[in-house]
Amino acid sequence: MPPTVSPKSIHHPLYPLVSPNVPRNPTLTIRNRFLSILFDSVFTKAVGTAYALPLIANERCGSWYIQPDLKAGSAYFKSTDGHHGQWSFSTRRLNLGVLDVVARTGGTDGYAGNEADQYGDDVGMPDALSKTVPIWCAVMNRILFPDLRDAHSLYTPPRVVGLSEHAQIEDRLDGFVEDFRALQLPIDNIRSNLTKPLRPLWVIQDSPLLEERPSFDDFYPIVCCTASRQVEGPDGSEGGYIQGAGDDSEGWAKGLTPTMFWENSQQLLDTAEEELPALMANLVRKSPSMASNGDAILVKPTAGVHMGTLETLRDADKDRYDCIVVCSDTPAPEQEASLDKKTLYLNCGRGKLGSRDLRKELHRVRAFIGTPSLNPSKKPKFLFVCSTGKDLSVGVALSVLCLFFDSQGNYTGLRQNTANTIDKQFIRQRLSWILATKRDANPSRTTLQAVNGFLMKKPA
């Protein structure tokens, strides 16, 4: 048997003393969070190296544990979809981008994604990795390889998921498959570069890692890596180490993102605890406010609906588009807004507040896109942008797809009697167009509720 390497013997070059035996400090300090994240990131990197696989961050917190230059993408597998009795396959988080990574880096050699997540339950593995990912793999296999019956089984970690729970989840898989089929996505396109099914595997910090890369001839391994080690402390810390240190960053990171952390990790580690809040605030203030990803993405099967970030708008050739809708908490200059007749500026804040603002603004979008000057025969082009390109702009584009496009993706002008034809299933099907094309789209529940409430509101 090949020799093994223990992650507990690995030290991060920026802080050689990061280990399970760091001097005891029971407080959940920001500095201890940074040190714990660095330690866990070394383990995550070691797992990727051992399997020779790209690293995919399971958001929201997975990106803390992966150095940006090693990150191949993001996924959105939620623990709530794996909670006992609430098992679900999410049609608003299809995670088809994981299949892109598998196809791009795996081909016939069996490379796949490595999902980095924080700790969840007292067993030491979050439901997102022990159940949500296995459900997704089983559904994808049944969809993509319907005739390969041996690949349709559900695989769960036996030390975490009992036989009864496993059986109950398996009983629901056919229903999840039907939910996916109802989206009417082009299955052949999704399957085109995949030659074998998916199978989840699980790694925690107590797992031995092989020095020689294993070979997987019959399936693509989806290695579910729980980044943090489990500790016994009542507050989730032990000896200064914080379990799941990157979790709930809204409460401690002061706006600092994983990218900002990794770009400034040495400076942050060299700063005293009492000076960290000021430094973090300064880094946030100096950081560019707009997401990257400057290229607009065409939403298929349409020929004219494009999506992007505020940076997309800044770099775009606006003459390409007949209508542009901007979601931003920064009002447009009054003169610019009055002169630019083909751009609609929506005043939407950030987070949940922005989603609630969106609901109040969507009637303006309907009037703007439904202008008589847009001739369907000329196939008008649209651009929808927000700060991230993943949430509010998805809500706007989804509303437009439901109101103005037919089932073939053709712009028709405002469809008649939409209040009687648009239901949740119709909205899910149109949303799947966006999710299948813009793989990093991740509309919040509040945004989708705003869209549903607007589109399904019965006339007075």
pLDDT recorded at residue 130: 95
Helix axes 30-51, 276-286, angle to 10 degrees: 60
- 325-342 in b/e form (b: 16+ CB < 10 A) is bbbbbeebeeeeeeeeeb
The more confidently predicted of residues 383 and 417 is 383
Cα separation of 144 and 149, whole Å?
11
Q: Is 46 helix (H, G, I), strand (E, B) or coil?
A: helix
DSSP states of 328-381: ESSPPPHHHHHH-TTEEEEE--SHHHHHHHHHHHHHHHHHHHT-TT--GGG---
Cα separation of 89 and 348, whole Å?
30
The pTM of the whole model exceeds 0.85:
no
* Paired sense of beta strands 305-309 and 297-298, if any: antiparallel
Q: How confident is the model at residue 162 (pLDDT cuts 50, 70, 90)?
A: very high
pLDDT recorded at residue 151: 94
Paired residues of 116 in beta bridges: 57, 225
Q: How confident is the model at residue 106 (pLDDT cuts 50, 70, 90)?
A: low
pLDDT 10s digits, 130-154: 999 999 999 999 999 999 999 999 9
Q: How confident is the model at residue 1 (pLDDT cuts 50, 70, 90)?
A: very low
pLDDT 10s digits, 34-76: 999 999 999 999 999 999 999 999 988 999 999 999 999 899 9
- 120 pLDDT higher than 80: no
Amino acid at 136: W
- 269 pLDDT higher than 90: yes
Cα separation of 7 and 47, whole Å?
9
427 close to 451: Cβ distance less than 8 angstroms: yes
**Integer angstrom CA distances of residue 141 from 220, 288, 332, 347:** 11, 40, 47, 42
99 close to 56: Cβ distance less than 8 angstroms: no
- 267 pLDDT higher than 60: yes
Average pLDDT of the chain? 85
Q: Tokens 């303006």 appear where?
A: 364
